[in-house]
């Protein structure tokens, strides 16, 4: 009889402790409460990246007072694009002390000894390479995105804003810095927003019904560039444990996970982004350009507009 009572007592105490630990894990800051529907924890996709070969864990502390941490999706062999980025918008803080942006480049594993040498050389020279344990391909872009968000959440959570960018864009960080100071929301993705986008069932971006059964994606951001308050990233990472995995990274991160995490979209950023064209009338009016030629030339035009160079 006494052994039975002891067993029951131990069972009750253990259950209370487990419940308490669960509540601690589920606790979020009071200003950041949100609700998930259908909170069944799904198995993560195979080989979900959980470590970094090159980490730069002290990057955001080597660059104090950052207001924006920008991570750029790139591949090992895109050395020229990284070079142009470093020489253009990534060095905006050299011209204006009010611009406080740090830029890192996210790459996957090296496939050859030559690629490994490229990564080592750039890392030693610039200390801005973060290398994850995934292979770069179209079908692993969501792995890269989750690894990037995990890195920011782990090492740069104190930085107010996170900016995602592709490696071929041009940014006016002088205008963006002013924009973020006057914007009226920090609870939504700031991006070029797509609504009612149909799921492609053929071609390069083909998604099978078993990967995404719906015919239309939830609202999501153009993958070239978006900005989000860093304090919201943990929501996306938590949502990735609940929502079905999707390899189309922009629809997955800023659409599927955003919907599950209760993060909306600031739609007016469309007025500040252009694709495929640029002219001098854009200066001081456009924040981001995608797929434009000669970013170095147009960076000099931006600097001239603000009278940082003659």
Residue 49 banded pLDDT, cuts 50, 70, 90:
low
pLDDT in tens, 147-156: 999 999 999 9
The CATH number for 89's domain is: 3.90.550.10
Cα end-to-end span (Å), the chain: 91
Rounded Cα distance between 160 and 297, Å, is: 31
C-alpha–C-alpha distance, residues 270 and 70, integer Å? 20
Per the structure, the count of domains in the chain is: 1
pLDDT tier at 26, thresholds 50, 70, 90? very low
Q: Place 11 in a pLDDT band, splitting at 50, 70 and 90.
A: very low
Structural domain includes residue 29: no
**Alpha-carbon Rg of the chain, whole angstroms?**
22
Contact by Cβ (8 Å): 266, 186: no
What pLDDT is recorded for position 21? 31
Residue 38 lies in a domain: no
Residue indicated by tokens 């792995």: 143
Bridge partners (DSSP) listed for residue 225: 165
pLDDT at 215 over 90: yes
Query: In 3D, which of 249, 243, 235 has the Cα closest to residue 142?
Result: 249
- Classify residue 47: in a domain, yes or no: no
- Between CA 67 and CA 159 the distance in angstroms is 6
pLDDT at 194: 93
Q: In the prediction, which pLDDT does 185 show?
A: 79
Quickly state the pLDDT bin for 238 (edges 50, 70, 90): very high
Q: Is residue 8 part of a domain?
A: no
Q: Give the pLDDT mean for 122-145.
A: 93
| Residue 271 DSSP SS3 | helix
pLDDT for residue 24: 28
The larger pLDDT score, comparing residue 45 to residue 310, is at: 310
How far is 255 from 250, CA to CA, in rounded Å?
A: 7
> Is residue 6 pLDDT above 60, yes or no?
no
Residue range of the domain that includes 101:
52-305
Q: Note the pLDDT tens digit of each residue in 176-214.
A: 999 999 987 789 999 999 999 999 999 888 899 988 999
Task: Give me the chain's average pLDDT, please.
Answer: 86
What is the DSSP pairing of strand 129-132 with strand 273-275? unpaired
What is the CB neighbour count within 10 angstroms for residue 136?
22
* pLDDT at residue 155, as a whole number: 96
Is pLDDT above 70 for 175? yes
Cα-to-chain-centroid distance, residue 128: 16
Q: Is residue 80 part of a domain?
A: yes
SS3 assignment, position 243:
coil
Q: Is 37 part of a structural domain of the chain?
A: no
Residue 117 lies in a domain: yes
């Amino acid at each position: 009889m006494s052994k039975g009572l002891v067993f029951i007592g131990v069972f009750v105490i253990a259950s209370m402790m487990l419940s308490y630990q669960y509540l601690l894990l589920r606790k979020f800051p009071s200003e950041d409460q949100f609700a998930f529907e259908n909170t069944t924890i799904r198995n993560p996709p195979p080989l979900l990246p959980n470590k970094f070969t090159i980490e730069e864990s002290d990057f955001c502390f080597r660059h104090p007072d950052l207001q924006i941490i920008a991570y750029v999706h790139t591949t090992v062999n895109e050395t020229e694009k990284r070079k142009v980025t470093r020489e253009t918008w990534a060095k905006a803080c050299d011209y204006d002390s009010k611009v406080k942006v740090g830029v890192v480049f996210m790459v996957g594993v090296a496939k050859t000894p030559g690629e490994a040498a490229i990564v080592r050389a750039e890392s030693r020279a610039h200390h801005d390479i973060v290398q994850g344990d995934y292979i770069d391909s179209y079908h692993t872009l969501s792995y890269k995105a989750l690894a990037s968000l995990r890195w920011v959440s782990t090492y740069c959570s104190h930085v107010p804003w996170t900016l995602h960018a592709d490696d071929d864009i041009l940014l006016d960080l002088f205008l963006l810095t002013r924009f973020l100071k006057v914007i009226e929301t920090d609870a939504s993705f700031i991006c070029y927003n797509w609504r009612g986008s149909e799921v492609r069932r053929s071609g390069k971006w083909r998604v099978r019904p078993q990967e995404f059964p719906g015919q239309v994606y939830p609202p999501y951001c153009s993958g070239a560039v978006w900005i989000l308050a860093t304090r919201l990233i943990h929501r996306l990472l938590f949502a990735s444990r609940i929502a079905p995995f999707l390899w189309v990274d922009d629809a997955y991160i800023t659409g599927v996970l955003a919907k599950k995490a209760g993060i909306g979209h600031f739609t007016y950023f469309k007025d500040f982004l252009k694709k495929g064209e640029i002219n001098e009338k854009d200066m001081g009016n456009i924040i981001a350009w995608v797929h434009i030629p000669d970013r170095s030339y147009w960076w000099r035009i931006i600097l001239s507009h603000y009278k940082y160079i003659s």
